[in-house]
Amino acid sequence: MPVHYSKINLLKMSPSVIRINTALPGTPRARVMIVYTGGTFGMVRDSSGVLIPLDFGSILEHLPALRQLQLELSVVAFDEPIDSSNIEPHHWREMADIVQQHYRDQDGFVILHGTDTMAYTASALSFMLEGLAKPVIFTGAQLPISEPRSDARENLITALEIAAAKGREGARVPEVCIYFGSELLRGNRAKKAESQHFDAFQSENYPPLAKAGVKIDYLDSAIHRPGPGALLHVRSTFDSRVGVLRIFPGINPLWVRSVTETPDLKGLILETYGSGNATTARWFLDAVRNLVSRGVIVLNVSQCPGGMVIQGKYETSRELAAMGVIGGGDMTLEAAVTKMMLLLGEYGPGETRTRIGVSMAGELTHVTVT
């Protein structure tokens, strides 16, 4: 059965909202909410040198430059900050609930999140927040904010600038995005690609929405804008009976069958070579065919960071298309996983099969016909 995540009481998740008006005695130019979920960003060293979570009530001590932003800031922190490796769909629901509850009184949101699963969370929220007309900017850090060379300061300050930015038509970037290493990326197009350097994320199939240097240069033509009068609607039901199978030379038939014969599996994402190619060994094709015949949705995405799946371009993908495997175009794995889980939870298998190959939030360059 789909997993239904109920609404979370914000006061239960965090006992208080910290408010910081950096514009006093003047009027703030925008109101932005910071949501701290956990991760490297908010760690500081105590007197013994051990890393502990930052008390966000003292954030101005660590980032005095915030006073120059002329913003009214609200800060919400999870009672128990989580390592992003432990992120689950109910955490996505908590973040979406915060956005929904404060949507009218805030101009934008900055979510501080660990880098390991940030692309999954940003993808999930891009699909959950239908009709979004305000910025939801994810950022984090490779080094804790207390470290002298930390990237946390620049990442947060620029993310806040972007979340507060306004254009002629309202918010400058009304999307779920990731800001990291001087680039603003569409959330459902981003992948973590670096664990040691500050440019941790890449988006091979879609250009950065903005680049930050001496000033922030926006690529307005790449930014998605909601239709006139768009209203926020939060999708919230996930079905996590989804699997991922990465193809590799010498893959064992027993391993493949252990995945494809998983009881109650509803969706499988195949990570294939190049433009959607996989082995044409009869045992492999039979395993996938049996899966499709059981009504399991099989989506084909590429292992390559760039490019897209074009089933039928080569003989090695022609049979996949013929048996009903759906081409995933240029979707990232992160977008494919979260989109499939959400569609299965909201609509069930039949409607998911129809919708999975159609762009919901700019995650696909175009519809892929297979």
Q: Which residues are marked as active site?
A: 40
Cα Dmax for the chain:
73
- Kindly provide the residue ranges of all beta strands, DSSP E only, lying in 193-279, ordered along the sequence: 201-202, 210-212, 216-218, 233-234, 237-238, 242-246, 267-272
| Cα–Cα dist 204/115, whole Å | 18
| Cα–Cα dist 63/128, whole Å | 32
In the numeric block, the tokens 């959400």 are attached to: 342
DSSP characters over 20-62: EETTTTS--SEEEEEEE--SGGGEEE-TTS-EEE--GGGHHHH
Of 5, 9, 83, which Cα lies nearest the Cα of 41? 83
